[in-house]
Amino acid sequence: MKRILFCSAMLCCTFGSFAQSGLHVLKIKNAKELRSFFKYTGNDIPFVSGHRGGINKGFPENSIEALENTLKYTPATFEIDPRLTKDSVIVLMHDATLNRTTNGTGKVGDYTLAELKQLRLKDVEGNLTNFQIPTLEEAIIWARGKTVLILDKKDVPFRMTADIIRRNKAEGHVMVTVHTAKEAKWYHERNKEIVFEAFVKTQKALEEYEQENIPWTHIMAYVGPDNKPELKPLYANLNKRGVMCMISAAPTYDKLPDATERAKAYRAVIEGGASLIEADRSLEAGEAIKTLVPAKSPKKKFFIITK
């Protein structure tokens, strides 16, 4: 796909080379607009999805502060990790235990929300911050009008996930990760508005979603962690159905030791056919792909910088 490089001045206007006083928000009002945002056109604006909310120094993963910090630099969606407390409140925490990312120990599910709120989060370097573990509902309320949250599959029952989305009327800015077509069908039968980050790594998986009658308008496809030529036919088959494709750099390119090599790899993901990159290093990835933004795109209306 041909990309037109902006001059540096235009890049600053579009995404900004440095942190802004405002936020790079995604102006998406409802589920219909969310489906339009993720519809593949062949002239889309590439962007990042912050893995675990984005993992940057000083801003702990799965914290609202990390989400907001990323939006100061780049537009982004965010993959976050819902887990249940002892008193059945959904909080954000990737691990089943507290040891790695907080000053607590033991299993998340052994503590009440009130007890968890006494803890503080650690950043990627293990430094203790003043930030608390957020509830999913707090994140949903914060994200409205700013970004899109993508709920990974952890220990929360499907029913509770569906209920919190419906209760908050969040179908326009909260998506659900599904690993199979049958999981997507469970949600779709109960709420026709929910949009999915769906695992579609093979042609067989693609066919399974069609067999279960999951509308392609409701799917953004995760195709795997590796940018490889073998993905070309899958990209083509998904794109002609109007589906954007995403590669996760978290287990692969985020781990490259050299920043220049990481930037090269992020750009290669987009140049290879993906429309977005899930990355731990959300700020680095967002900066690297700015030069691949097309001069004109029907998606520009969704990308806004607040004052």
How does pLDDT run across 95-151, given as a tens digit for each residue? 999 999 999 999 999 999 999 999 999 999 999 999 999 999 999 999 999 999 999
- pLDDT, residue 15, reads 44
Least confident of 21-25, 62-66, 286-290: 21-25
Share of the chain above pLDDT 90, in %: 92
- pLDDT, residue 11, reads 36
- pLDDT, residue 237, reads 98
Instruction: Report the run of H or E that residue 47 belongs to, with start and end.
Output: strand 47-51
All domains of the chain in start order, with CATH: 23-305 (3.20.20.190)
- pLDDT, residue 307, reads 83
CA distance 37 to 226: 24
Q: How many residues are listed for the chain in this entry?
A: 307
* 106 Cβ contact partners less than 8 Å away, ≥ 6 residues apart: 97, 98, 99
CA distance 179 to 87: 27
pLDDT tens digit sequence for 77-99: 999 999 999 999 999 999 999 99
**Could you tell me if 108 and 83 are in contact, meaning their C-beta atoms sit under 8 angstroms apart?**
yes
User: Judging by DSSP bridges, how do beta strands 276-279 and 303-305 pair with one another?
Assistant: unpaired
Give the per-residue SS3 of 208-224. Answer: HHHHCCCCHHHEEEEEE
- pLDDT, residue 107, reads 98
CA distance 50 to 24: 14
**Could you tell me if 249 and 222 are in contact, meaning their C-beta atoms sit under 8 angstroms apart?**
no
pLDDT tens digit sequence for 157-167: 999 999 999 99
pLDDT tens digit sequence for 199-253: 999 999 999 999 999 999 999 999 999 999 999 999 999 999 999 999 999 999 9
* 122 Cβ contact partners less than 8 Å away, ≥ 6 residues apart: 60, 100, 101, 102, 103, 128, 129
Looking at every residue in the chain, the average pLDDT score rounds to 94
> Degrees (nearest 5) of the Cα angle 25, 127, 247?
45
Average pLDDT of span 37-54 = 97
- pLDDT, residue 1, reads 37
Give the per-residue SS3 of 115-159. Answer: HHCCCCEECCCCCECCCCCCEHHHHHHHHCCCCCEEECCCCCCHH
- pLDDT, residue 21, reads 65
pLDDT at 289 over 60: yes
Instruction: Report the run of H or E that residue 175 belongs to, with start and end.
Output: strand 174-178
- Which of the pair, 146 or 15, is modelled with greater confidence? 146
pLDDT at 17 over 70: no
- pLDDT, residue 6, reads 34
Type of residue found at 132: Q
- pTM, two decimal places: 0.93
Beta bridge partners of 110: none
pLDDT tens digit sequence for 4-14: 333 333 333 43
